Amino acid sequence: MTGVEQMPDISIPKATVTSRRKREYHQDFKRITKCQTQTNRENN
């Protein structure tokens, strides 16, 4: 799917952009929660 990525943002469907953003946000959320649990463990 390199051809789709090379196209400008306008031609990309909104669904794919939002899903990609959701996936990235989910990964960041996992990372943040993991860091929070580690800090809580250290504090306790």
What's the confidence (pLDDT) of residue 33?
A: 83
pLDDT in tens, 1-44: 555 556 566 665 666 767 888 888 888 888 888 877 777 677 66
For residue 29, give its domain range: 16-44
What's the confidence (pLDDT) of residue 4?
A: 55
What's the confidence (pLDDT) of residue 19?
A: 80
Within-domain flag for 25: yes
What's the confidence (pLDDT) of residue 8?
A: 60
What's the confidence (pLDDT) of residue 11?
A: 63
Within-domain flag for 27: yes
Overall domain count for the chain: 1
Number of separate helices (H) and strands (E) present in the chain: 2, 0
